[in-house]
């Protein structure tokens, strides 16, 4: 199993369209992510992608998140690590779980939180993304949490925002969704232990359009997972994906054999260029996670889904609500992981300010 894939990428990642209709100077993903998101002494300054991050840093995020998970409820609202800091949620795409858990995380760390109402903001009047950012900076922002349909959005903002600001990627196009992958790793660790080397993990469904799958693969390889299998129709499998140290299966029955962790994914219709599927019904017939198929995996296998789940499309309700499902635990863990990441990027800021 390859340990790190710092230069590997989904083949179509770098050909994403530019940042919507917004006039921007530069929409390329830019310098290698790891060099961009770490300070010179290796601390997390931005969290844009898992690609290229060292295993120890991922472990640190998980260890910190575990501490937040175990805090009693009262203490959770009193953690003062972001007191006096202003966090701005910039969600250019819809979100329920991610936006809300970022919001709860910021509040539990005592930050001031602003949810920018993009639909009613000046970006709809033709203001460029960069101008919006400059104006929000002028209001005293310390951290942007960004979700955007373009794969380069979070990198773009990180490159051009003021030096004291941190950017956290909450999902960009089909590129990356690093906090989702880390909350998934935390969930796996809680149920399967700290050692990922014996684990066989299967990711099922629309791998091609999934930023979650990409970030999960990077996290799993960095944490040295024993085996990663991708299961889905050829049309939803990125070309050359095996370079990332994974094995692809078009037959779900074979792919699920002896598996410890099953991750199901939503069909990302909004990112499909053309009809890539014969029909939803046929997809479910061939790839839906049913109780019968679940029984092909290990007896104690866990079932995960980043949400939003489409019952009867990628997963049967009996499985989604069944005893092996940890889907709601993933949601709960989202708060702790986001608290961990936010507190880490802010402490790197503090160090930078003291040094400079």
Structure tokens given for 53? 């991050």
Instruction: State in angstroms the smallest separation of the CB of 177 from ligand NCD.
Output: 5
Among 177, 189, 214, 229, binds ligand NCD (CB under 6 A): 177
* Residue 180 binds ligand NCD (CB under 6 A): yes
Measured from each CB, the residue nearest to ligand NCD is 266
Phi, psi (5° rounding) for residue 202?
Answer: -115, 130
Instruction: State in angstroms the smallest separation of the CB of 248 from ligand NCD.
Output: 20
x/- site string to ligand NCD, residues 278 to 307, per CB under 6 A?
Answer: ----------------------------xx
Structure tokens given for 7? 């230069």
Across 215-230, b (16+ Cβ under 10 Å) vs e yields bbbbbbbbbebebbbb
Phi, psi (5° rounding) for residue 90?
Answer: -110, 95
* Residue 98 binds ligand NCD (CB under 6 A): yes
Q: What angle do CA 315, 321, 325 make, to 5 degrees?
A: 80
* Residue 222 binds ligand NCD (CB under 6 A): no
Structure tokens given for 296? 């092909």
* Residue 169 binds ligand NCD (CB under 6 A): no
Instruction: State in angstroms the smallest separation of the CB of 106 from ligand NCD.
Output: 17
Length in residues, the chain: 356
* Residue 311 binds ligand NCD (CB under 6 A): no
Instruction: State in angstroms the smallest separation of the CB of 299 from ligand NCD.
Output: 28
Of the pair 98, 222, the CB lying nearest ligand NCD is at 98
Among 211, 214, 218, 229, binds ligand NCD (CB under 6 A): 211
Angular region, 52: left φ>0, alpha ψ -120 to 50, beta rest: left
**Distance separating the N- and C-terminal Cα atoms of the chain:** 41
* Residue 336 binds ligand NCD (CB under 6 A): no
Strands 86-91 and 166-172: unpaired
Quote the crossing angle between the two packed helices 55-70 and 327-355, to the nearest 10°: 110
Tokens 């709960």 — which residue? 332
Of the pair 317, 353, the CB lying nearest ligand NCD is at 317
* Residue 173 binds ligand NCD (CB under 6 A): no
Instruction: State in angstroms the smallest separation of the CB of 139 from ligand NCD.
Output: 27
Contact residues: ligand NCD, CB under 6 A: 97-98, 171, 177, 180, 211-212, 266, 268, 306-307
């Amino acid at each position: 199993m390859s340990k790190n894939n710092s230069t590997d990428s989904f083949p179509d990642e770098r050909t994403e369209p530019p940042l919507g209709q917004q006039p921007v100077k530069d929409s390329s993903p830019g310098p290698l992510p790891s060099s961009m998101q770490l300070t010179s002494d290796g601390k997390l300054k931005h969290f844009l992608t898992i690609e290229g991050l060292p295993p120890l840093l991922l472990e640190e995020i998980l260890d910190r998140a575990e501490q937040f998970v175990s805090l009693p409820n009262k203490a959770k609202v009193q953690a003062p690590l972001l007191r006096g800091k202003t966090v701005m949620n910039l969600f250019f795409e819809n979100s329920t779980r991610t936006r809300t858990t970022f919001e709860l995380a910021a509040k539990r760390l005592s930050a001031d939180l602003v949810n920018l109402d993009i639909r009613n903001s000046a970006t709809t009047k033709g203001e460029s993304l960069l101008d919006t950012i400059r104006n929000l900076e002028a209001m005293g922002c310390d951290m942007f949490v960004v979700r955007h349909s373009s794969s380069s959005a979070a990198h773009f903002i990180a490159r051009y925002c003021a030096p004291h600001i941190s950017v956290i990627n909450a999902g960009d196009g089909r590129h990356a969704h690093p906090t989702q992958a880390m909350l998934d790793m935390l969930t796996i660790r809680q149920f399967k232990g700290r050692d990922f080397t014996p684990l066989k993990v299967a990711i099922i469904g629309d791998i091609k359009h999934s930023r979650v799958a990409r970030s999960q693969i990077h996290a799993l390889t960095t944490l040295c997972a024993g085996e990663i299998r991708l299961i889905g129709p050829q049309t939803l499998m990125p070309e050359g994906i095996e370079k990332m140290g994974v094995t692809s299966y078009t037959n779900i029955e074979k792919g699920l054999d002896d598996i410890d962790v099953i991750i199901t994914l939503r069909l990302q219709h909004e990112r499909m260029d053309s009809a890539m599927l014969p029909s939803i019904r046929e997809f479910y017939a061939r790839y839906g996670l049913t109780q019968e198929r679940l029984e092909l995996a290990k007896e104690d296998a866990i079932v995960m889904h980043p949400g939003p789940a489409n019952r009867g499309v990628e997963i049967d309700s009996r499985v989604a609500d069944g005893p092996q499902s940890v889907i709601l635990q993933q949601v709960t863990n989202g708060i702790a992981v986001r608290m961990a990441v936010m507190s880490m990027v802010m402490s790197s800021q503090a160090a930078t300010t003291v040094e400079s």
